[in-house]
């Protein structure tokens, strides 16, 4: 969420927020300007939605979806900077940053790149500690847990999966799911495995509010208790 920039609008955060328990909010490096981020955290606070810092590479032009071979020292500083900036806006809105989730190319890099994962964990520890949200089995979650940070494995309701459990690349057909029934069914399947503690619907997916509403209805109908993990 919070991925609009100035007059350029992406997604419908106001319509999406009421269906959520947690909001992964951009921090200005891959998307989002300060005014947009402030409005986003204010709306989240008013609805009792937990705010997560969605940190990414310094890559506005590429929307944070391009890998950057950055030094661990620089990456740790960039991540800490992003958390602090969003937390200042959150505090002004009467809430706090409650957890961290990497965005885009950084999210995928820290599944296997130990140096970059260590840098992200270091930044979280330097901030004072936060729960860390990431892909199941990611090196990031392994290192965060070893550092004493709470970790939460994430599933994607609106993304296609390969048979090996990895996501279909966005450059390939079937990468993004847009049918509410299909998204709700995948969400229920992910929860049934017991392997994930959080489900993601992307704010820039077509019809994201309807997708999130369908996921929530389906889980509630199945008797799943829905609550923020942080």
pLDDT for position 205:
87
pTM value > 0.85: yes
Tens of pLDDT, residues 115-165: 999 999 999 999 999 999 999 999 999 999 999 999 999 999 999 999 999
Q: Residue ranges of the alpha helices (H) in the chain?
A: 13-16, 34-47, 72-92, 104-112, 114-127, 139-146, 180-193, 208-221
Q: What is the Cα 189 distance to its own chain's centre?
A: 20
Does residue 34 register a pLDDT over 90? yes
11: which residues sit within 8 A by CB, 6+ positions away?
Answer: 1, 3, 4, 203, 204, 208
Edge-first strand listing for the sheet containing 50-55: 22-26, 50-55, 97-102, 132-134, 151-156, 198-200
pLDDT for position 206:
85
Q: What CATH code would you report for 13-221? A: 3.20.20.370
Domain ranges for the chain: 13-221
Handedness of CA 14, 10, 175, 133 (dihedral sign): negative
Measured distance between the N- and C-terminal CA atoms of the chain, rounded to whole angstroms: 17
Tokens of 46: 């008013």
pLDDT for position 172:
93
Euclidean distance between CA atoms 30 and 62, whole angstroms? 8
């Amino acid at each position: 969420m919070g991925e609009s920039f100035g007059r350029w609008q992406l997604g419908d955060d106001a319509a999406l927020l009421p269906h959520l328990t947690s909001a992964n909010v951009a921090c200005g490096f891959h998307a989002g300007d300060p005014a947009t981020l402030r409005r986003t955290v204010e709306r989240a606070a008013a609805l009792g939605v937990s705010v997560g810092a969605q940190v990414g590479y310094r890559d506005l032009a590429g929307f944070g979806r391009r890998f950057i071979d950055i030094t661990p020292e620089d990456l740790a500083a960039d991540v800490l900077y992003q958390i602090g900036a969003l937390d200042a806006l959150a505090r002004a809105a009467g809430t706090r940053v409650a957890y961290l989730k990497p965005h885009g190319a950084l999210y995928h890099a820290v599944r296997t790149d130990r140096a970059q994962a260590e840098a992200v964990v270091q930044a979280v520890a330097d901030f004072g500690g936060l729960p860390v949200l990431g892909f199941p089995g990611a090196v990031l979650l392994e290192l965060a847990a070893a550092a004493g940070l709470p970790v939460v494995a994430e599933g994607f309701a609106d993304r296609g999966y390969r048979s090996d459990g990895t996501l279909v690349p966005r450059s390939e057909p079937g990468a993004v799911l847009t049918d509410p029934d299909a998204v709700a069914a995948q969400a229920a399947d992910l929860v049934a495995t017991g392997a994930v503690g959080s489900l993601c619907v992307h704010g820039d997916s077509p019809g994201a509010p309807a997708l999130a509403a369908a996921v929530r209805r389906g889980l509630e109908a199945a008797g799943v208790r829905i609550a923020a993990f942080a």
